[in-house]
């Protein structure tokens, strides 16, 4: 038979699997066998198509026909009609709600995909250590256009009109920042790329630098042209050895090709980039601390103003932008401000990269248009909560942000909505928590981090966070009293109001937002002295239900401290005085006789 | 390649690179292109081993292919991931690639175009 083999791809992503795509695959296989087609038609399973709300999704190749909402009972028709007679099963095609048109192929349906890659456009596509691959994918084309056909003011106007806001956390309008740096006159200015990425759980900047370093180099040069700087500095943590190595290679190659250095492309514009290393201190991501660290001083922040755009590196006007911010620049130049500002919400344009972590199935990086909802991110793109558990909260903005809960699931994610919800965008870390997570402990976890990372320069942050942490420790140990909750809140507000830099001004946020959203959980800790999630060891008691216990002795044998006693075939008991709450007995018990009280 | 001295140089260089990429336009048969995602998450899950395995085995098995190392695509949960483009076809990404899976991908997909389990469909829009 010369006919090309037919392959039926059945989505095995979490969303489709939950809708029984397994049974669809089985029914298809049965039909194929019933028609003796097994040599010509094959069924394979794939990961998520990103069309979860339309699932189960089935794609027939090489015809590239996508069927949606396929039930096991549809298998016969697909095989009879499509495979045997070559007639597409219209009924199972996707109908575009606006035009009423039936869409057939994955290509036609691509507009319904939730993700959109602008920042990550070349990650995983090009060899980052080969500048030619980057050039083939349009690298330095925007720089060429800027240097030969545009004035700095025209470029700044495009960046302003695009609505791009800084991706490093604050969301400051990038074009405006460039304009300010341009207006401040000086004999030398600097362009700084902030690649410190200290937010635990975030790794998008690392991925961009590892996958597409030229995107950042090119944008820094464009920025240099706009603000009249001839020197760029990338501040990157030394813990990112691969990103550092690829950046070095990229810089060397760009210089070799004349795309960085003196008189770039014969335009008279010169721009050079060097790397500066950070030692992994969170506070050094704050722009003034970062600049001091680059100057060889202690990585401590100073009061703004003066802003870096006025007096930054070596006292000269300095424009600091985040890696992801820079990675948006070339597409904006090439495709225009209008294109970029057509993506996203009213005040937050373009896309945002999120690093999904925690109790979510598809841990990794995603890039979605601003305004995508938390529900789409977690349950469609992220594949939902691990092990079928219940969603409890998602932390955005890392240790400076707050948690979003069930009631925020349908809020479009953008800079302003997150702030209104008591959190913030931050750099894009998104840590998902399920029913087993204790929110008091989560707040304590982030405080652990800030206490460790506070530089100690100002008292509210150095001492206040320490006290805050102590109080949380107290509460999770069952030593808290109801009045502690008010003390917590007051202390948070004072620290926020009086700290010198963004670290202290935001470090109480995880406490405030969990206090706001999970008040009853805090109350349970301080009044009933119970941890509803069963996480705080000091508040748990393991207990054997006598009716369920058959006296198999398995628990007593596994207990490392011999806290369990009882005769064979008689109900056992746990001595709470000796028990260290390790949970080994509960895991071992086959009769569900051991519970946590 | 010589220094790029003007915008025209850049555009010419780009055309030349595009024409010569991955065996294209050399008058020979177009090659299979294999991208192994070697960012930190890929490498931490063993991508280097897969890169070496594929490079060696494709040559041993006389398959005309280019294997390149790229950054990650963000599919951390499924690393190591690789992307295979057969001449004239759309790229296909595979996840959870160990040596056994890599061998299966060579024998079934690269040689015959038969899909194997573990495909990660394109689930994003691109900018062009
Ligand atoms: C404690 C603290 C840590 C920060 N860490 C980072 C960081 O890791 N990366 C980053 O780009 N910005 C970080 N920032 C924000 C920077 O101060 C600065 O606003 C940003 O780099 C500006 O770039 P953008 O306008 O492109 O966002 C941090 C701010 C604070 C207060």
Min Cα–Cα distance to chain A from B62, Å: 23
A207/B contact by beta carbon, under 8 A: yes
What distance in Å separates the CA atoms of residue A375 and residue A368, rounded to the nearest whole number?
13
CATH number at residue A66: 3.40.30.10
A61/B contact by beta carbon, under 8 A: yes
Same domain, yes or no: A427 and A448 = no
What distance in Å separates the CA atoms of residue A504 and residue A517, rounded to the nearest whole number?
21
Is the CB of A257 inside a 6 Å radius of any atom of ligand 1?
A: no
* Within-domain flag for A144: yes
Same domain, yes or no: A489 and A415 = no
A135/B contact by beta carbon, under 8 A: yes
CATH number at residue A325: 3.40.50.11540
Residue-number span of the structural domain to which A575 is assigned:
541-596
Tell if the CB–CB gap between B10 and A147 is shorter than 8 Å: no
The radius of gyration computed from the CA coordinates of chain B, to the nearest angstrom, equals 16
Min Cα–Cα distance to chain A from B104, Å: 13
Is the CB of A27 inside a 6 Å radius of any atom of ligand 1?
A: no
CATH number at residue A576: 3.30.70.20
What distance in Å separates the CA atoms of residue A467 and residue A464, rounded to the nearest whole number?
5
Atom of ligand 1 at shortest range from CA of A194: 11
What distance in Å separates the CA atoms of residue B128 and residue B126, rounded to the nearest whole number?
6
What distance in Å separates the CA atoms of residue B9 and residue B15, rounded to the nearest whole number?
10
Out of A159, A163, A169, A446, mutate this one to test ligand 1's pocket (max ligand atoms within 8 Å of CB): namely A169
Out of A170, A176, A239, A327, mutate this one to test ligand 1's pocket (max ligand atoms within 8 Å of CB): namely A170
* Within-domain flag for A121: no
Q: Which of A597, A568, A562, A567 is nearest to A580 (CA)?
A: A562
Crossing angle for the helix pair A323-335 and A204-211, nearest 10 degrees?
A: 60
H-assigned helices in A421-539: 439-453, 459, 465-476, 483-498, 502-506, 509-517, 519-523
Same domain, yes or no: A94 and A219 = no
Is the CB of A336 inside a 6 Å radius of any atom of ligand 1?
A: no
What distance in Å separates the CA atoms of residue A279 and residue A28, rounded to the nearest whole number?
56
Buried b (16+ CB within 10 A) or exposed e, A146-167: bbeebebeebbebbbbbbbbbb
Min Cα–Cα distance to chain B from A172, Å: 24
Question: Is residue B26 predicted with pLDDT exceeding 60?
Answer: no
Count the neighbouring beta carbons within 10 Å of the beta carbon of residue A577. Answer: 6
Question: Is the peptide bond preceding residue A305 cis, with omega within 30 degrees of 0?
Answer: yes
CATH number at residue A503: 1.20.1440.230
Min Cα–Cα distance to chain A from B4, Å: 6
Q: What is the pTM of this model?
A: 0.92
Is the CB of A405 inside a 6 Å radius of any atom of ligand 1?
A: no
Same domain, yes or no: A144 and A271 = yes
Is the CB of A218 inside a 6 Å radius of any atom of ligand 1?
A: no
Atom of ligand 1 at shortest range from CA of A400: 1
3-class DSSP state of A437: coil
Same domain, yes or no: A163 and A266 = yes
Tokens representing residue A224 in the block:
């240099």
Same domain, yes or no: A191 and A238 = yes
H-assigned helices in A295-365: 323-335, 337-341
Crossing angle for the helix pair A141-149 and B7-20, nearest 10 degrees?
A: 160
Same domain, yes or no: A218 and A249 = yes
> CB-based contacts of B45: which residues, under 8 Å, 6+ apart?
B79, B80
CATH number at residue A383: 3.10.20.600
Question: Is residue B47 predicted with pLDDT exceeding 50?
Answer: yes
- Structure confidence at residue A1 (pLDDT): 35
Q: How many residues are given for chain B?
A: 128
Tell if the CB–CB gap between A364 and B123 is shorter than 8 Å: no
CA atoms A366, A368, A372, A376: torsion sign:
negative
> CB-based contacts of A437: which residues, under 8 Å, 6+ apart?
A359, A392, A393, A533, A535
CA atoms within 13 A on the CB side of A279: 8
- Structure confidence at residue A4 (pLDDT): 63
DSSP per-residue codes, A83-99: IIH----GGGSEE-TTT
* Within-domain flag for A122: no
Task: Specify which residues A187 forms β-bridges with.
Answer: none
Q: Where in A34-143 does DSSP place strands (E)? A: 41-46, 58-61, 65-67, 94-95, 102-103, 115-116
Same domain, yes or no: A102 and A178 = no
Secondary element (H or E) of residue B34: strand B32-37
* Within-domain flag for A114: no
What does each of the 597 residues of chain A score in pLDDT, given as a tens digit? 335 689 999 998 877 888 899 999 999 999 999 999 988 899 998 888 877 778 899 999 888 899 999 999 999 999 999 999 999 999 999 988 778 888 888 878 877 788 999 999 999 999 999 999 999 999 999 999 999 999 999 999 999 999 999 999 889 999 999 999 999 999 999 999 999 999 888 999 999 999 999 999 999 999 999 999 999 999 999 999 999 999 999 999 999 999 999 999 999 999 999 999 999 999 999 999 999 999 999 999 999 999 999 999 999 999 999 999 999 999 999 999 999 999 999 999 999 999 999 999 999 999 999 999 999 999 888 988 998 899 999 999 999 999 999 999 999 999 999 999 999 999 999 999 999 999 999 999 999 999 999 999 999 999 999 999 999 999 999 999 999 999 999 999 999 999 999 999 999 999 999 999 999 999 999 999 999 998 898 898 899 999 999 999 999 999 999 999 999 999 999 999 999 989 899 999 999 999 987
Burial of A296 (0-12, 13-18, 19+ CB in 10 A): exposed
Using 50, 70 and 90 to split pLDDT, how confident is the model at B25?
low
Domains of chain A: total: 5
- Structure confidence at residue A12 (pLDDT): 86
Residue A75: alpha-carbon gap to chain centroid: 38
Domain B31-120 has CATH 3.40.30.10: yes
∠ CA B83-B87-B93, rounded to 5°: 15
What distance in Å separates the CA atoms of residue B102 and residue B46, rounded to the nearest whole number?
12
What distance in Å separates the CA atoms of residue A402 and residue A425, rounded to the nearest whole number?
9
Same domain, yes or no: A413 and A267 = no
* Within-domain flag for A13: yes
Same domain, yes or no: A273 and A403 = no
Same domain, yes or no: A140 and A269 = yes
Of A51, A126, A203, the CB nearest to B70: A126
Atom of ligand 1 at shortest range from CA of A325: 26
The conformation of residue A360, written as its DSSP 8-state character, comes to B
Min Cα–Cα distance to chain B from A336, Å: 12
Is the CB of A427 inside a 6 Å radius of any atom of ligand 1?
A: yes
Mutation test of the interface with chain A: which of B20, B70, B109, choosing the one with the most A Cβ atoms within 10 A? B70
Is the CB of A283 inside a 6 Å radius of any atom of ligand 1?
A: yes
ipTM: 0.93
Residue A460: alpha-carbon gap to chain centroid: 30
* Within-domain flag for A173: yes
Q: Write down the residue that tokens 């909402």 correspond to.
A: A69
Among A276-290, B73-87, B94-108, B114-128, which is the least confidently predicted range? B114-128
B74 contacts in chain A (CB < 8 Å): 120, 123-124, 207, 364-367
Question: Contact, A152 vs A229, CB < 8 A?
Answer: no
> Three-state SS across A545-590?
CCCCCCCCCHHHHHCCCCCEECCCCCCCEECCCCCCCCCHHHHHCC
What average pLDDT does this structure show over B53-80? 95
Going from N- to C-terminal start, the domains of chain B cover 1-28, 31-120
* Within-domain flag for A500: yes
Å from CA of A568 to ligand 1 middle: 63
Question: Contact, A426 vs A202, CB < 8 A?
Answer: yes
* Within-domain flag for A483: yes
Same domain, yes or no: A359 and A496 = no
Pairing mode of beta strands A231-237, A351-358: unpaired
Q: Which of A485, A370, A353, A501 is nearest to A429 (CA)?
A: A353
Is the CB of A167 inside a 6 Å radius of any atom of ligand 1?
A: yes
Using 50, 70 and 90 to split pLDDT, how confident is the model at B24?
low
Cα–Cα distance list, B21 to A63, B16, B17, B68 (Å): 28, 8, 6, 12
What average pLDDT does this structure show over B68-94? 94
A265 contacts in chain B (CB < 8 Å): 4-7, 9-10
What distance in Å separates the CA atoms of residue A257 and residue A155, rounded to the nearest whole number?
24
């Amino acid at each position: 038979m010369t006919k090309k083999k037919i392959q039926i791809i059945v989505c095995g992503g979490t969303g489709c699997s939950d809708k029984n795509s397994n049974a669809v695959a089985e029914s298809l296989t049965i039909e194929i066998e019933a028609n003796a087609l097994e040599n010509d038609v094959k069924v394979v399973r794939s990961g998520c198509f990103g069309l979860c709300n339309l699932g189960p999704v089935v794609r027939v190749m090489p015809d590239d026909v996508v069927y949606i909402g396929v039930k096991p009972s549809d298998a016969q028709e697909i095989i009879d009609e499509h495979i045997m007679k070559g007639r597409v099963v219209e009924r199972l095609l996707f109908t575009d709600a606006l035009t009423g048109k039936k869409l057939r192929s994955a290509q036609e349906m691509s507009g319904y995909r939730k993700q959109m890659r602008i920042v990550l456009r070349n990650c995983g596509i090009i060899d980052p250590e080969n500048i030619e691959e980057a050039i083939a994918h349009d690298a330095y084309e925007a720089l060429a256009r800027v240097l030969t056909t545009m004035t700095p003011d025209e470029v700044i106007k495009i960046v302003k009109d695009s609505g791009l806001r800084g991706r490093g956390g604050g969301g400051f309008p990038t074009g405006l920042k460039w304009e300010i740096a341009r207006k401040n006159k000086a004999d030398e200015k600097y362009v700084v790329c902030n690649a410190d990425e200290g937010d635990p759980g975030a790794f998008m900047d690392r991925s961009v630098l590892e996958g597409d370093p030229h995107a950042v180099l090119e944008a820094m040069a464009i920025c240099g042209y706009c603000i009249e700087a001839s020197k760029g500095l990338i501040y990157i943590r030394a813990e990112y050895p691969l990103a550092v190595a690829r950046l070095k290679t990229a810089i060397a190659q760009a210089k070799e090709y004349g795309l960085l250095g003196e008189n770039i492309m014969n335009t008279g514009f010169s721009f050079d980039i060097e790397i500066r290393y950070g030692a992994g201190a969170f506070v050094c991501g704050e722009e003034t601390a970062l600049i001091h660290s680059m100057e060889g001083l202690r990585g401590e922040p100073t009061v703004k103003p003066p802003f870096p755009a006025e007096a930054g590196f070596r006292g000269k006007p300095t424009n600091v932008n985040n890696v992801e911010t820079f990675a948006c620049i070339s597409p904006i130049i090439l495709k225009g401000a209008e294109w970029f500002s057509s993506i996203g919400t009213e005040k937050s344009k373009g896309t945002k990269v999120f690093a999904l972590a925690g109790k979510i199935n598809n841990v990794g990086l995603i890039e979605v248009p601003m305004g995508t909802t938390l529900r789409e991110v977690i349950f469609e793109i992220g594949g939902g909560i691990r092990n079928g558990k219940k969603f409890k909260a998602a932390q955005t903005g890392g240790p400076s942000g707050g948690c979003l809960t069930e009631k925020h699931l349908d809020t479009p994610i953008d800079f302003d909505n997150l702030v209104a919800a008591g959190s913030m965008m931050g750099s894009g870390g998104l840590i998902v928590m399920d029913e087993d997570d204790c929110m008091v402990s989560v707040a304590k976890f982030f405080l652990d981090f800030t206490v460790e990372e506070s530089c100690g320069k100002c008292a509210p942050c150095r001492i206040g966070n320490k006290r805050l942490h102590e109080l949380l420790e107290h509460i999770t140990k069952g030593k808290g009293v109801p009045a502690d909750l008010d003390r917590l809140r007051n202390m948070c507000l004072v620290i926020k109001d009086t700290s010198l830099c963004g670290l202290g001004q935001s470090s109480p946020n995880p406490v405030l937002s969990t206090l706001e959203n999970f008040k009853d959980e805090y109350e349970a800790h301080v009044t009933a002295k119970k941890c509803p999630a069963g996480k705080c060891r000091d508040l748990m008691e393991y207990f054997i239900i006598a009716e369920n216990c058959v006296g198999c002795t398995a628990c007593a044998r596994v207990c490392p401290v011999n806290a369990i006693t009882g005769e064979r075939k008689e109900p056992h008991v746990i001595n709470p005085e000796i028990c260290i709450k390790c949970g080994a007995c509960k895991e071992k018990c086959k009769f569900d006789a051991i519970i946590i009280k | 390649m010589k220094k790029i001295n003007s915008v025209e140089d850049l555009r010419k260089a780009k055309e030349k690179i595009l024409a010569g990429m991955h065996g294209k336009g050399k008058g020979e048969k177009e090659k299979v292109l294999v991208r192994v995602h070697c960012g930190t998450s890929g490498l931490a899950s063993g991508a280097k081993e897969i890169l070496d395995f594929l490079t060696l085995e494709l040559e041993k098995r006389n398959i005309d292919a280019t294997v390149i190392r790229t950054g990650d695509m963000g599919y951390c949960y499924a690393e190591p991931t690789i992307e295979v483009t057969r001449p004239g076809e759309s790229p296909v990404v595979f996840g959870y690639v160990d040596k056994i899976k890599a061998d299966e991908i060579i024998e079934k997909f690269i040689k015959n175009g038969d899909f194997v389990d573990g495909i990660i469909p394109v689930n994003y829009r691109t900018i062009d």
